[in-house]
Amino acid sequence: MAEIRNVTVLGTGVLGSQIAYQVSFHGFAVTSYDIDDAALAAARDRFEKLAATYRAEVAGAGDGKAERAASRITLSSDLAAAVRDADLVIEAVPEDLALKEKIFGQIGEQAPAHTIFASNSSTLLPSAMKASTGRPDRFLALHFANQVWKYNTAEIMGTDDTDPAVFRAVVEFAETIGMVPVELHKEKAGYVLNSLLVPLLNSAIALGAGGYADPETVDKTWRIGTGAPFGPFQMLDVIGLNTPFNILVHGDDDAKRLAAWLKAGYIDKGKLGVASGEGFYKY
Ligand code: NAD
């Protein structure tokens, strides 16, 4: 297995910028690809903000290390050039299967034969995309969480076609960049974390929407009963209420009722969570 030295990240949005920065911070050569100059200018801003965050929050980020991690990242809007020397490509483009298939199809022809491809998709299974890569044995999901420097899980999930040696190489890479690898033995929508979290959050919303208990009571029960530091409504405030709303509103009738409760009681009143200053709690 060729050593991973050069890493290319596709997409410089919320997650792509964080992944690229984290990989650069840990000493790898990183190329960040996005569609045009405007996106790349926004990326440069994101890297500078991340440098400031790391300086404030991450041990060992002082003495110019945080700034160097940002300035070392090569930015490119030329896809073929961006993947030409890549040992690993991590895809973090918008959550749209057709778009991801298109970009994997392109780099499948442009990247060297040894290059490993990984998708950071939260909701699409790697088997849905593997054919488009032209190299299903060298393809898997590598899923980061928002605020990678703090919530440092890296969920790693292959398909039936993923070469076990590729899986191991990506597990080792995740460790090297300061992540805690979470290995899935087979494909699962939601990986480990969201398989646990989403039902918990939905059950909490159902307790509130059904009038069984108010959010404070639900959270207090969860905290005391499990020793967890936060209850589900506190977590929902951090995530932002639009995210569960957008998922629930596309679900079955029960889910739609939960979405309607979130909308009428909170979202329509501008209570979107921590980011808006108020959600289930005031901040
Ligand atoms: P985002 O919208 O913030 O960023 C997407 C980026 O992709 C943008 O910079 C955009 O310019 C770029 N882009 C658009 N079209 C492109 C194309 N054709 N080729 C290359 N780049 C293109 O999205 P995000 O929140 O960073 O999510 C990206 C992926 O990461 C998704 O698959 C999502 O499921 C996953 N993810 C997101 C989070 C999260 O909390 N936001 C967490 C884990 C995983």
Condensed to tens digits (0 to 9), the pLDDT of residues 178-211 reads 999 999 999 999 999 999 999 999 999 999 999 9
Q: Report the side by side order of strands in the sheet with 153-158.
A: 74-76, 29-33, 6-10, 88-91, 116-119, 139-144, 153-158, 180-184
Looking at the predicted structure, is the pLDDT value of residue 61 above 80? yes
Per-domain residue ranges of the chain: 6-183, 195-276
Q: What is the mean pLDDT of residues 242-260?
A: 94
Q: Determine which residue's CA is closest to atom 39 belonging to ligand 1.
A: 146
Distance 94 CA to ligand 1 centre (A): 4
Q: Please pick, among 194, 242, 276, 278, the residue that the annotation labels catalytic.
A: 194
Q: Provide the 3-class DSSP secondary structure of residue 37.
A: helix
> Does residue 143 carry a catalytic annotation?
yes
Q: Determine which residue's CA is closest to atom 43 belonging to ligand 1.
A: 145
Q: Hey, what CATH class is 6-183 in?
A: alpha beta
> Does residue 155 carry a catalytic annotation?
yes
Ligand 1 within 6 A of 120 CB?
Answer: yes
Closest CA relative to residue 231, chosen from 218, 213, 244 = 218
Q: What is the mean pLDDT of residues 219-223?
A: 98
Looking at the predicted structure, is the pLDDT value of residue 135 above 80? yes
pLDDT tens by residue, 76-124: 999 999 999 999 999 999 999 999 999 999 999 999 999 999 999 998 9
User: CB–CB of 9/50 below 8 Å?
Assistant: no
DSSP 192-213: THHHHHHHHHHHHHHHHHTTSS
Distance 235 CA to ligand 1 centre (A): 22
User: CB–CB of 179/205 below 8 Å?
Assistant: no
Mean pLDDT of all residues belonging to the chain: 97
DSSP 78-113: -HHHHHTT-SEEEE---S-HHHHHHHHHHHHHHS-T
Beta bridge partners of 142: 156
> Does residue 194 carry a catalytic annotation?
yes
Ligand 1 within 6 A of 99 CB?
Answer: yes
Q: Please pick, among 17, 91, 155, 202, the residue that the annotation labels catalytic.
A: 155
Q: What is the mean pLDDT of residues 219-234?
A: 98
Q: Hey, what CATH class is 195-276 in?
A: mainly alpha
**Binning pLDDT at 50, 70 and 90, where does residue 141 land?**
very high
Ligand 1 within 6 A of 94 CB?
Answer: yes
Q: What is the pLDDT of residue 1?
A: 73
- Taking the CA atoms of 201, 205, 206 and 208 in sequence, report the sign of the dihedral they define: positive
Q: What is the pLDDT of residue 163?
A: 98
- Structure tokens, 33: 């690809």
Distance 93 CA to ligand 1 centre (A): 4
**Binning pLDDT at 50, 70 and 90, where does residue 218 land?**
very high
Ligand 1 within 6 A of 122 CB?
Answer: yes
How many angstroms separate the CA atoms of 133 and 55, rounded? 37
Closest CA relative to residue 281, chosen from 244, 224, 230 = 230
Looking at the predicted structure, is the pLDDT value of residue 2 above 80? no
pLDDT tens by residue, 142-161: 999 999 999 999 999 999 99
pTM: 0.93
**Three-state SS letters, 106-132:** HHHHHCCCCCEEEECCCCCCHHHHHHH
Q: Please pick, among 17, 119, 121, 122, the residue that the annotation labels catalytic.
A: 122
Ligand 1 within 6 A of 103 CB?
Answer: yes
Q: Provide the 3-class DSSP secondary structure of residue 235.
A: helix
Q: What is the pLDDT of residue 169?
A: 98
Distance 241 CA to ligand 1 centre (A): 19
Looking at the predicted structure, is the pLDDT value of residue 22 above 90? yes
- Taking the CA atoms of 125, 128, 132 and 135 in sequence, report the sign of the dihedral they define: positive
